């Protein structure tokens, strides 16, 4: 009896030891996640207050040199995000196989890359081809050889890439001297033979389609008398042709030589054109002092001016924007010294009834720079971006989300939220509840409608480009003060699919000490996803089972802030405490069960010489089976944790992984040992019962009847 009490105390001590061991292990476990931003964000120095007088001497940047566009404007219930694109304009020409005119893209959304002409999220597409459509103008008309008749197009299409809608004709498309395009855009070539000038016409006729929306002054000047300029309609429309657009003696109306050429195909690759501007020109979009540029004139951040509207009342705000350059330069730039396109995402926290008027936005403190990065500080420029999106989009049009809990374990914090796809959008064309995708990508949806209805193609939602995103926390520090920290997302995957079958759960796992020394989920008050992109595309499954994303089906929206919870302290499930209580309770129950079983067996076999309970052997077996079963249960618990409450969807190191592996291996070994012992016990039991039956048979007296 004394030994059994000792066994019970040993098992209870084992439970406490295991529980305390898990607790200590959870505090010491060192994960293998990539380093996050170290330390806390330092408070910014006092910002300078800007007013309109600071920019009184600025000039507007020439639209021939620099353009800016608001590519997207997105909102949440507490913020507004602006995706801004600056482009240093270069003349990139496109032409047909005849090669007798050059069309340049003037659309502010053009990226400058013919192979990828539009930015991510661009949503203007040609109705016929489904390709991105951009606006452009005729810059040069080039005659000569067999191409003296020039039929200007209404559209140019580069197969599988883009469509140019030709909306205008620029000034000096053809001149007497032709300096603007290497001498090729002249009316005539003049040669001298034996002292006589011989004029050879390079252009005999120019045909203008009625789709042209603007023709600039001096578009066609110095026109020889024998050249035909024809317009497709019976008369010139009002407001389209500027006064002095041509000095031709006569203009023919109601004809277009070859109507099939109104929709032309681009032949070959684009040409980088040369003009008097020496494009592209480099611009500095905000700079600061450094070792090379030490004067105060270099301390000029890019400043955004906008109107904040609060319940109908306007307030003009000037805000200095921080530099985004991460490669050592003390400026942001666009042009020859960097790249033709510079983009940035701006985010603003807004209260109830507040919004930003996109039409009011202006950027200040823009300067020119030489190709060797010498900044011209003598003059600054301002630019007003054009609206490059068709419609603002709110986050609720895409997804609805809520925080579904937090937990901690082994020095890690888990934050879980659900992001349910909003499939309840209605519109005039699609009155039944549907995904926003149908409204944005109507043509592509209609092309694949049958496969979508069959379920072979689905509209997929994803959190995209996660490596460009961050987590933002406000949490209580060790002394109760509120601390603010932003943590870059570190993951081996670039996107997270929102899977309806899995509840659209997004589980975020962070190692506390890699965030901050005093960080934990219990202390978090505010949690935000920063610079998050939500993408929709068409994901198709073929009859053979292979899957693919349909080309040009993706549409994405960027959000500077998605507030998961704001100034709320949630209840956090602590797996450390749970495991301590669970294993202490389990081993205590096992000890009680072992003690009760001992009492039963002791009483049952007290008169059986061979099966009488041996106290020492029973204690040894109880300890063995108690420890072994604890290991097996631990393996089961960690498997349940890994696939259940502590399963992360944003892939990083999970602290349950090594525990799951270790305890699963040990548990299988112990389980195998228990199975072997059970088989042996069954065999012994059978042999014992067989022996008993034999002894009973031998005890029957032979009466001679058998």
Listing DSSP states for 175-191 in one string gives BSS-GGGTT-SBSEEEE
What's the rounded Cα separation, in Å, for the pair 348 and 592? 61
Q: Are residues 285 and 344 in the same domain?
A: yes
525 CB burial (10 A radius; 0-12, 13-18, 19+): middle
Residues 6+ apart with CB under 8 A from 584: 12, 15, 16, 18, 19
For 431-583, list the strands marked E by DSSP: 457-464, 470-476, 482-488, 496-497, 505-511, 524-541, 547-549, 555-565, 572-574
Q: What's 29's DSSP letter?
A: -
Apex 153 CA angle, 148 and 155, nearest 5: 155
The per-residue pLDDT for 267 is 64
Residue 154 in tokens = 């209404």
pLDDT per residue over 264-281, tens digit each?
Answer: 788 655 666 666 667 788
Residue 407 in tokens = 């937990």
> Of the given ranges (236-240, 302-306, 378-382, 441-445), which has the lowest mean pLDDT?
441-445
Boundary-marking domain end, from 272, 296, 330: 272
The per-residue pLDDT for 40 is 31
Mean pLDDT for the stretch of residues 506-530: 92
Would the pLDDT of 706 be above 60? no
Mean pLDDT for the stretch of residues 36-51: 50
Residue 411 in tokens = 């020095």
The per-residue pLDDT for 117 is 86
Mean pLDDT for the stretch of residues 53-76: 92
Q: Are residues 109 and 251 in the same domain?
A: yes
Q: How confident is the model at residue 54 (pLDDT cuts 50, 70, 90)?
A: very high
The per-residue pLDDT for 631 is 86
Would the pLDDT of 27 be above 50? no
Whether the pTM exceeds 0.85: the reply is no
pLDDT per residue over 209-260, tens digit each?
Answer: 999 999 999 999 989 988 989 999 999 999 999 999 999 988 999 877 755 5
Residue 295 or residue 667, greater confidence: 295
Q: How confident is the model at residue 598 (pLDDT cuts 50, 70, 90)?
A: confident
Domain presence at residue 329 = yes
Q: Are residues 123 and 233 in the same domain?
A: yes
Would the pLDDT of 34 be above 50? no
Domain presence at residue 676 = yes
Strands 79-88 and 66-75 come out as antiparallel
Residues 6+ apart with CB under 8 A from 688: none
Q: Are residues 579 and 533 in the same domain?
A: no
The per-residue pLDDT for 11 is 47
Q: How many CA atoms lie within 13 A of 644 on its CB side?
A: 9
Domain presence at residue 84 = no
Boundary-marking domain end, from 249, 272, 295: 272
443-480 burial, b if ≥16 CB within 10 A, otherwise e?
ebbeebeeebeeeebebbbbbbbbeebbbbbbbbeeee
Domain presence at residue 256 = yes
How confident is the prediction for the chain on average, in pLDDT? 83
pLDDT per residue over 482-517, tens digit each?
Answer: 999 999 998 888 888 887 666 688 999 999 999 999
The per-residue pLDDT for 362 is 97
Would the pLDDT of 50 be above 90? yes
Mean pLDDT for the stretch of residues 288-315: 92
pLDDT per residue over 152-183, tens digit each?
Answer: 989 998 877 899 999 999 988 887 777 667 67
| CATH code, 241 | 3.80.10
Apex 118 CA angle, 112 and 121, nearest 5: 145
Q: What are phi and psi of 469, to 5 degrees?
A: -105, 170
Would the pLDDT of 448 be above 50? yes
Residue 676 or residue 21, greater confidence: 676
CA nearest neighbour of 209 among 293, 320, 103: 103
Q: Are residues 543 and 401 in the same domain?
A: yes
The per-residue pLDDT for 540 is 92
Q: Are residues 601 and 566 in the same domain?
A: no
Residue 61 or residue 700, greater confidence: 61
Residues across the chain: 706
Boundary-marking domain end, from 546, 571, 596: 571
Domain presence at residue 634 = yes
CA nearest neighbour of 224 among 202, 244, 242: 202
Q: List residues bridging with 383 in a β-sheet.
A: 363
Mean pLDDT for the stretch of residues 362-369: 96
pLDDT per residue over 99-119, tens digit each?
Answer: 788 888 888 788 777 788 887
Task: State the residue range of the domain holding 632.
Answer: 2-31+574-698
The per-residue pLDDT for 704 is 53
Counted domains in the chain: 4
Q: What are phi and psi of 662, to 5 degrees?
A: -65, -50
Q: How confident is the model at residue 96 (pLDDT cuts 50, 70, 90)?
A: confident
DSSP notation for 70-134: EEEEEE-SSEEEEEEEEEE---EEE--TT--EEEEE--TT--S-TTS-S-TT---B-TTT--BEE
Tell whether the torsion through CA atoms of 356, 360, 365 and 371 is positive or negative: positive
Q: Are residues 208 and 288 in the same domain?
A: no
Q: Are 498 and 466 in contact (CB under 8 A)?
A: no
Q: Are residues 213 and 255 in the same domain?
A: yes
């Amino acid at each position: 009896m004394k030994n059994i009490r000792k066994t019970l105390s040993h098992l209870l001590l084992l439970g406490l030891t295991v529980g305390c061991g898990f607790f200590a292990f959870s505090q010491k476990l060192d994960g293998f996640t990539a380093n996050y931003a170290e330390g806390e964000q330092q408070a910014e120095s006092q910002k300078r207050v800007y007013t309109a007088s600071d920019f009184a001497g600025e000039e507007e940047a020439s639209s021939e040199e620099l353009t800016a566009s608001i590519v997207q404007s997105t909102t949440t219930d507490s913020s507004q995000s602006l995706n801004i694109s600056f482009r240093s304009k270069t003349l990139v020409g496109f032409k047909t196989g005849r090669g007798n005119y050059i069309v340049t893209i003037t659309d502010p959304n053009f990226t400058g890359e013919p192979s990828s002409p539009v930015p991510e999220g661009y949503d203007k597409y040609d109705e016929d081809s489904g390709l991105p459509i951009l606006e452009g103008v005729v810059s040069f008309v080039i005659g000569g050889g067999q191409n003296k008749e020039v039929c200007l197009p209404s559209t140019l299409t580069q197969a599988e890439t883009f469509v140019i809608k030709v909306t205008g004709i620029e000034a000096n498309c053809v001149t007497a001297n032709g300096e603007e395009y290497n001498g090729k855009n002249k009316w005539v070539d003049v040669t001298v033979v034996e002292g006589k000038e011989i004029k050879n016409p390079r252009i005999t006729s120019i045909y203008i389609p009625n789709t042209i929306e603007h023709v600039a002054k001096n578009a066609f000047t110095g026109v020889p008398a024998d050249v035909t300029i024809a317009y497709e309609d019976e008369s010139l429309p009002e407001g389209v042709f500027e006064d002095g657009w041509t000095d031709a003696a006569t203009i023919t109306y109601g004809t277009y030589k070859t109507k099939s050429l109104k929709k032309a195909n681009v032949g070959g690759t684009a040409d980088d054109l040369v003009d008097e501007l020496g494009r592209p020109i480099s611009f500095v979009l905000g700079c600061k002092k450094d070792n090379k540029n030490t004067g105060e004139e270099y301390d000029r951040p890019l400043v955004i001016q906008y109107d904040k509207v609060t319940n109908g009342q306007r307030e003009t705000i000037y805000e200095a924007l921080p530099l985004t350059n991460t490669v050592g330069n003390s400026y942001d730039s666009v042009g020859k010294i960097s790249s033709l396109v510079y983009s940035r995402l701006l985010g603003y926290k807004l209260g109830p009834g507040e919004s930003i008027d996109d039409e009011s936005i202006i950027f200040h403190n823009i300067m020119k720079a030489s190709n060797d990065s010498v900044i011209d500080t003598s003059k600054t420029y301002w630019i007003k971006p054009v609206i490059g999106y068709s419609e603002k989009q709110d986050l609720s049009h895409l997804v609805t989300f809520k925080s579904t809990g937090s937990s901690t374990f082994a020095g890690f914090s888990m934050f879980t939220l659900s992001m349910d796809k909003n499939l309840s959008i209605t519109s005039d064309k699609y009155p039944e509840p549907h995904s926003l995708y149908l409204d944005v990508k109507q043509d592509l949806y209609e092309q694949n409608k049958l496969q979508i209805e069959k379920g072979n193609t689905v509209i997929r939602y994803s959190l995209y480009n996660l490596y460009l995103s961050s987590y933002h926390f406000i949490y209580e520090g060790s002394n109760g003060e509120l601390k603010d920290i932003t943590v870059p997302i570190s993951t081996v995957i670039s996107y997270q699919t929102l899977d309806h079958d899995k509840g659209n759960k997004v589980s975020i796992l962070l190692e506390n000490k890699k965030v901050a020394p005093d960080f934990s989920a219990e202390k978090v008050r505010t949690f935000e996803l920063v610079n998050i992109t939500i993408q929709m595309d068409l994901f198709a499954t073929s009859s053979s089972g292979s899957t693919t994303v349909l080309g040009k089906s993706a549409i994405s929206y960027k959000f500077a802030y998605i507030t998961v919870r704001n100034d709320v302290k949630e209840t956090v499930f602590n797996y450390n405490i749970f495991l301590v209580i669970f294993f202490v309770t389990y081993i205590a129950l096992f000890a009680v069960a072992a003690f009760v079983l001992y009492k039963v067996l002791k009483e049952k076999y007290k008169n059986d010489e061979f099966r009488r309970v041996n106290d020492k052997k029973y204690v040894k077996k109880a300890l063995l089976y108690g420890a072994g079963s604890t290991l097996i249960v631990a393996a089961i618990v960690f498997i349940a944790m890994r696939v259940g409450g502590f399963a992360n969807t944003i892939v990083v190191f999970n602290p349950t992984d090594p525990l799951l592996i270790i305890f699963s291996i040990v548990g299988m070994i112990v389980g195998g040992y228990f199975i072997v012992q059970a088989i042996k016990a069954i065999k012994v039991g059978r042999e014992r019962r067989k022996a008993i039956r034999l002894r009973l048979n031998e005890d029957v007296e032979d009466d001679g009847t058998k």
